[in-house]
Chain A
Amino acid sequence: MIALGRRERRGSRLGVGESRATVIALGTVAWLIGMLWIFPVAWTVLTSFKTEQDASAQTFHNGLTVARYSDVSHSTTGTLSLSTAFTNSLVIVLVSTIIVMLLALPAAYALAIRPVPKWRDVLFFFISTKFLPIVASIFPIYVYAQKWNLIGTRTILIVLYIAMNLPLAIWMTRSFFSEVPRELIEAAEIDGTSLFNQLRSVILPIAAPGIAATALLCVIFAWNEYFYAIQLNFAGASTMPQWVIGNVSTRGNFLAKLSAASMIACLPVILAGWAAQKRMIRGLSMGALK
């Protein structure tokens, strides 16, 4: 059953009777909760603009400065350079996400549009690969990566991130595809279009928000991934999470510097997430679960 959404649904939901006072009160509560929830992040952002003295003592005596950001951006010997880590992360995340989508879209087609028999079992198999703790397989992976000279390369991480994100991508894309109206597929079949063209002109335009949401999730998980990176990477091929940890110093107090580093590392994904949040919700409500 399709909802007749001809009026603005949310807001004074039941027309007459939901009092102004209630709306304002609930809105205020929501604001309070939002501020509380973001507080740790907000405070860290603030700290990143302080001097180290202030940071440790949680005071404001010396005013605000961007010095920490420049400290952290310039590479010094012995530490990882920001530009190297950033480039590595960018390449790894983009390449792995693109390949994930290239693999997931046809797979979702084979599970939703022209489904194989036992598609549910196949779907379960993909999800079940995430039940295996990655710590379990890390050693064999390490051994073989070493054998094939892949330690410390971008390739090994790209491959592993694809395996990491593929089940989620297939799951989500499949349910977005299942939202495409049957008649459109039938019309395309009658017209004799190939799989590729069907995808391009019929399915993708409709499922686009959902696919964008899926790709965004893959980007988030890949960019933020820490374990594989730490275990299989070093020096030249390190990624942003490693770069951030590299700024954790056991000698002395470098809280402000670490805050600045953290913010730089997280910023791309934060911005992407902010920009796409409406699409994410729309995508999720459209079809992550019908």
Chain B
Amino acid sequence: MASVEYDAATRLYPGTATPAVNELNLSIADGELLVLVGPSGSGKSTALRMLAGLEPLDEGKILIGGKDVSAVRPRDRDIAMVFQSYALYPQLDVAANMGFALKQQGVPKEERKQRVLEAAKLLDLEPYLDRKPRNLSGGQRQRVAMGRAIVRHPQVYLMDEPLSNLDAKLRVQTRTELVELQQRLAVTTVYVTHDQVEAMTMGHRVAVLRDGYLQQVDAPGTLYHSPANLFVAGFIGSPAMNTLPVPATGPLRIAGTEVGIADDLGGERATVGFRPETVIIGDGPIAARIRIVEDLGSEVFVHLVLDHDGEERRVVAKVDAPFVGSAGDNVRVKLHGTVHLFDTAEVRRTSVTL
């Protein structure tokens, strides 16, 4: 168990102009589950592979447990990794797969068997120990990949989108199992995903990456309520935050209704953002028309169209069930909750509570 630190870590693929990971500074505490999230091409997988030693660093360094491991080979870093494709050894059965790393370390056969059995019990894999990967279902393979990692007691666990190949229901179920497992084992874990729901529900902290740059790293709640910039605001939360362009100075109006004053947000234009749950349908100053109603049972997402600054804009409202109303209806809407203001550089400046 150890802390992990990225110190201005940079990776530039030969022949490309911009680094895949650009001067990443990130400290991960011992025992923490940190999620690296971002769209494809954001550099999250590259950052993970740099930690694993599968990608070299072009600049900066990486420390595990305080030691600089930037030049250390993967097999000497004492880490375990779960690959997106699971990367199970096809010719070995489940037990041999899970015991592979122990065998490389020279752990005697009896002890190996013991530890593999422990891990198998933890993951409900006992009945499959003598099967080959090709005779396992996707979910079973995923668990074997996990088992291969946890049998090792390494300093750090690395996970590269381990759930993305599972079907939706299994994914949700495995997600919670994973979190419980990590809490129990209390090993530092770095977890990569592109799914922001996964990120929010799993991590102690979440690091949002975009185009190789770290946007923000915070606890999920903080990311949600206090996004550092427009990108994080739009990436975290589903449905996405509603955004509308506003002038950078002067009175702020959303669909004609004044909500406050902008204190020179720099430049020409700025953006105002508010989450779906701040849009209240009933009575209010804003006129809107319903486009679509999505009824999920426990909550309802209502897609609206309103007139903002002379243009038609789409806005999503989240309301409690039951909701009475259908496409084409004209309704009145008001905002109640936090409204964020982002300046021209897309950085969040202030938030106003209505």
Direct contact of A and B (CB under 8 A): yes
Q: Which residues of A contact B (CB under 8 A)?
A: 1, 3-4, 12, 14-17
Contact call B53/A16, Cβ cutoff below 8 A: yes
Could you tell me the distance between the alpha carbons of A12 and B53 in the complex, rounded to whole angstroms? 12
Instruction: Give the total number of A-B pairs whose CB atoms are below 8 A apart.
Output: 30
Least CB distance, B55 to chain A, in whole angstroms: 5
Least CB distance, B139 to chain A, in whole angstroms: 15
Contact call B84/A17, Cβ cutoff below 8 A: no
Contact call A14/B74, Cβ cutoff below 8 A: yes
Could you tell me the distance between the alpha carbons of A217 and B198 in the complex, rounded to whole angstroms? 52
**Interface flag for B197 (CB, 8 Å):** no
User: For residue A15, which residue of chain B has the nearest CB?
Assistant: B54
The residues in B between 30 and 62 inclusive whose CB is less than 8 angstroms from any CB of A are 49, 53-56
Contact call B74/A16, Cβ cutoff below 8 A: yes
Kindly list chain A residues whose C-beta atoms are within 8 Å of the C-beta of B56. Answer: 12, 15-16
Interface of A (DSSP majority class): loop
Contact call A17/B85, Cβ cutoff below 8 A: no
**Interface flag for B71 (CB, 8 Å):** yes
Could you tell me the distance between the alpha carbons of A143 and B71 in the complex, rounded to whole angstroms? 74
Kindly list chain A residues whose C-beta atoms are within 8 Å of the C-beta of B74. Answer: 14-17
**Interface flag for B73 (CB, 8 Å):** yes
Least CB distance, B50 to chain A, in whole angstroms: 9
Contact call B49/A17, Cβ cutoff below 8 A: no
User: For residue B85, which residue of chain A has the nearest CB?
Assistant: A4
**Interface flag for B72 (CB, 8 Å):** yes
Least CB distance, B337 to chain A, in whole angstroms: 42
The residues in B between 157 and 176 inclusive whose CB is less than 8 angstroms from any CB of A are none
Kindly list chain B residues whose C-beta atoms are within 8 Å of the C-beta of A15. Answer: 49, 53-56, 74
The proximity string for B residues 127-143 relative to A, scoring 1 for CB distances below 8 Å and 0 otherwise, is: 00000000000000000
Least CB distance, B344 to chain A, in whole angstroms: 35
Least CB distance, A185 to chain B, in whole angstroms: 23
User: For residue B77, which residue of chain A has the nearest CB?
Assistant: A16
Could you tell me the distance between the alpha carbons of A4 and B86 in the complex, rounded to whole angstroms? 11
Kindly list chain A residues whose C-beta atoms are within 8 Å of the C-beta of B90. Answer: 1
Could you tell me the distance between the alpha carbons of A17 and B73 in the complex, rounded to whole angstroms? 5
Contact call A16/B84, Cβ cutoff below 8 A: no
Kindly list chain A residues whose C-beta atoms are within 8 Å of the C-beta of B70. Answer: 16
Kindly list chain B residues whose C-beta atoms are within 8 Å of the C-beta of A3. Answer: 85
List 18 A-B residue pairs with CB atoms under 8 Å apart, sorted by A's residue number: A1-B85, A4-B84, A4-B85, A12-B56, A14-B53, A14-B54, A14-B73, A14-B74, A15-B49, A15-B56, A16-B54, A16-B55, A16-B56, A16-B70, A16-B71, A17-B53, A17-B71, A17-B72
Contact call A16/B72, Cβ cutoff below 8 A: yes
- For the complex of A and B, the 5 pairs showing the least CB-CB separation, nearest first, are A17-B73, A15-B54, A16-B53, A16-B56, A15-B55
User: For residue B54, which residue of chain A has the nearest CB?
Assistant: A15
Additional 18 contacts, C-beta under 8 A, given A14-B74, A16-B70: A1-B85, A1-B90, A14-B54, A14-B73, A15-B49, A15-B53, A15-B54, A15-B55, A15-B56, A15-B74, A16-B53, A16-B71, A16-B72, A16-B73, A17-B53, A17-B71, A17-B72, A17-B73
